[in-house]
A and B are shown apart, each in its own frame.
Chain A
Amino acid sequence: MELAVENLQKDYKKKRALDGFSCRIQEGVTILLGPNGAGKSTFMNILADLTPRSGGCVSLDGEDIFSMGKKYRKRLGYLPQSPEFYPFFTGRDILKYFARLKELEKDSYDIDALLKSVHLTSAADRKCGGYSGGMKRRLGIAVAMLGSPDILIMDEPTAGLDPRERLLFKRNIKRMSENRIIIMATHIISDAEDIASRILLLKEGKNIGEGTIDELTQAVISESGQEQVDLDDVYMHWFGEELEMDDVLV
């Protein structure tokens, strides 16, 4: 299974959010790294067929995803940046609701197991209005995972989760990453280090680098001459050049 992105372009009124973006995404966890405004959310929304593109194409195993329509969305799980749910629905209601929307067969999903996997069993029958931000995000993750989709697109899924929940999430993602394409945007470098199969670096709507963590660190080592480089250094190498000492509060 492969998502091929060719020369993707997205123009807003006064800004080009994606500028000839190309990449190939295979099974495993692909992490999008880049500063705010780099085009990560736009890219993921286009991949989720939520935002129309201005140019370029995206294909899944050679088939244009925008022509596939429902057939593509049946294989998709999506988590937006700040998931919100109807406050008067319980967590269980929400999952049942989305099971219907995803047109899942009743025996193809287990809501209790899903709730357990995101530690929401005890809150399953409470209304979402009373959920904390972290709980809503966990419920969003459960919704995205519902039906075990082939392609999971998640925008900053770990933001706002406590360490224990982040760990649980990462374990779940690692377990799920076999035979699936998982695309995640995050600003938490350690999360990327823990679960990324590949990393895509975005800057001003362009793909400025991609590869495994080893490939990216090796590239920085060979360019900078440093002896030891981690993903933080890779990030700073690509995106930290504008950071001045004056910007740091003392």
Chain B
Amino acid sequence: MVVYELRKLLMSKFMPASLAVLAILLGILVFLYRDSFPQETGEGEYYGLFTDENGRIKEDIQAYYEELSAKDMMLMTLNSGIYSDTEGGDFGLISRVMQQSDYALSYPAEMEQIVQRSLADIQRVDEDYEKRYYEKSIYIYNQKVDISVIADEQPESFLMMFHGENSIEYGMVLVLWVIVLGVYTFGFEEDKSFALIVRSTAGGRSALTAAKLLSLAIIILCLGVVILTAELLAGYFIYGMDRNVLTASIQSIQAYKLCDMKLSILGAILLANAARLQLLLMVMGLTVLLTELMKSIPAAVVLTVALEGTLIYLLRMDKSGYMNNMRFMSIRQHLPLGLLFATDYMKSYDYGRIIFWPVNVMYECMVITGLAAVVISAAAIICPEYVNRRKRHGTGGGKPSKGL
């Protein structure tokens, strides 16, 4: 079934048109967000204060840090973790210097001693907020030791483009593409008697709907892999990499520098696509479910919009803007809750963010329902048995003729 549906999609005359639409939309997106691409220095503004045009730590800064003992360095690292903002502040810079200098790996015993002392210091920290970040710093520090395989040259790539601040728009473009393709390909059946024959068969409703959704999901997955591969290649040619692109650590990418998962870039690509696929299937599942439950596309749209409106209102109550920071943070934004809980990622989940868990859930819901509102109209065509119940087929209609 899925093979047939895939063939329908791939051989559809609307496929080139939909790809053209996708290219245009992506082009518009690239144009609008051209300033947010990684610069040749490979560093954002923040790091630019400390780095030269080649992305290397400025000499005076380097010298300053190199004069410090490993002990001081580690203390600074821990302290910077405590007092930094949610992104880790200058912790990233210092840890990078440490990696370049190999200090961290040269003094494991002293590091252990400092960590133990730091743990004791936690007892003296009264406020929960600081305590959490103290723990976080120690945790991340230990992780960083494990990722000493990171290339000195921090390779950048266009991954930033789709995994940075505009990833939501990127997702929306993909969904739009799916709708264009879905509507014109599967919609092709609706007015045709072909759909009637299909729906008159035993498996022509549920199985066919599932096969259509699955084939769409496969196409999306393939497209995601193609786009990400293109990003990697573009990144390779623009910035260069001195290691195998796919097996390099995910932390090799600027956007994921602070990600505390042990992942290769290939792993990240697969995981991000699996998560995206899961999200999309959830959206489509929700759409079909809503349509089925309400037996009415307009009513389902109204409900979805109302739901989304409520969630947006609730999100706005997060005056700190914390949500905006965290959702663009790293790969985790592509991990719907189900997948997130299924991994041991939770073990390293930032304690500070746990308290925002309800907001996180709302955010996920907002994304899902927001996309659902758009996809519902496509579902009307993908699952025609749920709609157009009044549609007539046959020569009849209008004023009866006079017969012969």
- Using a CB–CB cutoff of 8 Å, the interface residues on chain A facing chain B are 12-13, 15, 17, 35-42, 44-45, 48-52, 70, 73-74, 76-86, 88-89, 93, 97-98, 100-103, 140, 143-144, 153, 155, 203-204, 235-236, 239-240, 242-243, 247
Chain A residues with CB below 8 A from B392, complex form: 12, 17, 41-42, 51
Whether A82 contacts B396 in the complex (CB less than 8 A), given A73-B201, A101-B207, comes out as: no
Whether B397 pairs with A83 at a CB distance below 8 angstroms is no
Is A102 within 8 A of B203, CB to CB? Answer: yes
A70 neighbours in B (Cβ, 8 Å): 202-203, 205
Are B200 and A73 in contact, CB atoms less than 8 angstroms apart?
yes
Question: Closest CB of chain A to B203's CB: distance in Å?
Answer: 5
Nearest-neighbor residue (CB-CB) of B400 within chain A: A37
A36 touches B201 (CB 8 A): no
Q: Give the residues in chain B near A76, CB-CB below 8 Å.
A: 200-201
Number of interface residues of B (CB under 8 A): 36
> Is B389 in contact with A52, judged by CB distance below 8 angstroms?
yes
A76-B200 Cα distance, complex, nearest whole Å: 7
B291 to chain A, nearest CB (A): 15
How many residue pairs between the two chains, A and B, have CB atoms under 8 Å in the bound complex? 133
Residues of B189-205 contacting chain A, CB below 8 A: 192-194, 196-205
B56 at the A/B interface (Cβ < 8 Å)? Answer: no
Instruction: Flag whether B390 is at the interface (Cβ < 8 A).
Output: yes
How long is the Cα–Cα vector from A243 to B401 in the complex, in angstroms?
Answer: 10
State the B residues within 8 Å of A (CB): 1, 4, 7-8, 11, 192-194, 196-205, 207-208, 389-404
Residue from A51, A78, A240 within 8 A of B389 (CB atoms): A51
Given A102-B203, A103-B202, A35 contacting B197 (CB threshold 8 A): no
Measured CB to CB, the nearest residue on chain B to A11 is B390
**A45 with B203: CB separation less than 8 A:** no
Q: How far is the CA of A180 from the CA of B404 in the complex (A)?
A: 31
Chain B contacts of A39 at CB under 8 A? 396
Residue of A17, A45, A73 near B204 (CB, 8 A) is A73
Given the complex, which residues of B lie within 8 Å of A37, measured CB to CB? 395-401
User: What A residues does B203 contact at CB under 8 A?
Assistant: 70, 100-103
- Which A-chain residue is minimally distant from B388 (CB atoms)? A51
A-B pairs with beta carbons under 8 Å apart, 20 shown: A17-B392, A37-B397, A42-B396, A50-B196, A70-B205, A73-B200, A76-B201, A81-B393, A81-B394, A83-B194, A85-B194, A98-B198, A100-B1, A100-B4, A101-B202, A102-B202, A103-B203, A143-B197, A239-B404, A243-B403
A37, A52, A236 — most chain B CB neighbours (10 Å): A37
Q: In this complex, what residue of A is CB-closest to B395?
A: A36
Is the pair A83, B193 in contact by a Cβ cutoff of 8 Å? Answer: yes
Contacts of A52 in B (CB 8 A): 389
What residues on A are CB-neighbors of B198 within 8 Å? Answer: 98, 101
Among all A-B residue pairs, the 9 with the closest Cβ atoms: A41-B394, A80-B193, A35-B403, A78-B200, A239-B403, A37-B400, A101-B201, A74-B202, A37-B396
Other 8 A-B pairs with CB < 8 A, given A37-B395, A243-B402: A41-B395, A49-B200, A78-B196, A83-B193, A101-B207, A204-B400, A242-B403, A243-B403
Inter-chain contacts of B197 with A (CB < 8 A): 78-80, 83, 98, 140, 143-144
Of chain B, the residue at the smallest CB distance from A127 is B11
Rounded to whole Å, the gap between the CB of B238 and the closest CB of chain A is 39
Q: Please determine whether B202 and A73 come into contact, CB atoms closer than 8 angstroms.
A: yes
Q: How distant is B15 from chain A, measured CB to nearest CB, in Å?
A: 11
Complexed CA–CA distance, A100 and B404 (Å): 41
How far, in whole Å, are A35 and B404 apart by their CA atoms in the complex?
7
B4 proximity list for chain A (CB < 8 A):
89, 93, 97, 100
CB distance B404 to A243 under 8 Å? Answer: yes
CA distance A144 to B76 in the complex (A): 78
Q: How far is the CB of A99 from chain B (nearest CB, A)?
A: 10
**B200–A35 contact, CB under 8 A?**
no
Residues of A within 8 A of B201 (CB): 73, 76, 98, 101-103
Please measure, in the bound complex, the distance between the C-alpha atom of A242 and the C-alpha atom of B207, giving whole angstroms.
48
With a CB–CB cut-off of 8 A, which chain B residues contact A242?
Answer: 402-403
Taking the closest CB of chain A, its distance from the CB of B310, in whole angstroms, is 33
Q: Closest CB of chain B to A129's CB: distance in Å?
A: 11
A86 touches B204 (CB 8 A): no
Residue of B nearest to A104 (CB): B202
The residue on A at minimum CB distance from B1 is: A100
Q: How far is the CA of A40 from the CA of B400 in the complex (A)?
A: 12
| CB-defined contacts of A77 to chain B, threshold 8 Å | 200
Find the A residue at minimum CB distance from B5.
A97
Q: Which of B193, B204, B208, B404 contacts A84 (CB 8 A)?
A: B193
Measured between beta carbons, the chain A residues less than 8 angstroms from B393 are 41, 45, 50-51, 80-81
Cβ of A198 to closest chain B Cβ, rounded Å: 21
What residues on B are CB-neighbors of A101 within 8 Å? 1, 198, 201-204, 207-208
Contact B394 A42 (CB under 8 A): yes
